């Protein structure tokens, strides 16, 4: 079954600390993996897209890693800020009957506190 699972489900950290979010997927065939940030009540916004051949990609304080062999990805947030409080969603697309279906994980709810 094509699935995307994320952990932890929720996380609370202090401002300035680092954290790592995990994503395991079983979607096949695999083409790429995306991390989105979703503020409460808002649409998801892409943070990074990683293709099969990429192991690490950074976007400011966000660094994503991908291990296509173990089908795992992580998102590392450095020096967290209050504005990082959001849901982080791992997304893996796959082709279904001629279309592209984005399979979403349920997300990790991150809260950054003072």
Residues making contact with other proteins (CB under 8 A): 31-32, 34, 41-46, 49, 51, 89, 93-107
Find the shortest distance in angstroms from Cβ 59 to other proteins.
13
Find the shortest distance in angstroms from Cβ 89 to other proteins.
7
**Is 37 or 77 the residue whose CB approaches other proteins more closely?**
37
Pairing of strands 56-59, 86-96: unpaired
**Is 41 or 60 the residue whose CB approaches other proteins more closely?**
41
Structural contact between residues 65 and 55, judged by C-beta atoms closer than 8 angstroms: yes
Pairing of strands 86-96, 99-104: antiparallel
Find the shortest distance in angstroms from Cβ 38 to other proteins.
8
What are 107's two structure tokens?
């997300």
**Cα(23)–Cα(25) distance, integer angstroms:** 7
């Amino acid at each position: 079954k094509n699935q995307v699972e994320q952990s932890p489900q929720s996380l609370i950290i202090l401002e300035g600390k680092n954290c790592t979010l995990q994503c395991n997927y079983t979607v096949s065939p695999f083409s790429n993996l995306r991390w989105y940030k979703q503020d409460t009540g808002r649409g998801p916004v892409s943070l990074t897209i990683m293709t099969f051949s990429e192991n690490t990609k950074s976007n400011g304080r966000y660094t994503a890693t991908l291990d296509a062999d173990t089908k795992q990805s992580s998102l590392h947030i450095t020096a967290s800020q209050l504005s990082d409080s959001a849901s982080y969603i791992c997304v893996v697309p796959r082709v279904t009957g001629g279309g592209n279906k984005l399979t979403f994980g349920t997300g990790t709810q991150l809260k950054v506190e003072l």
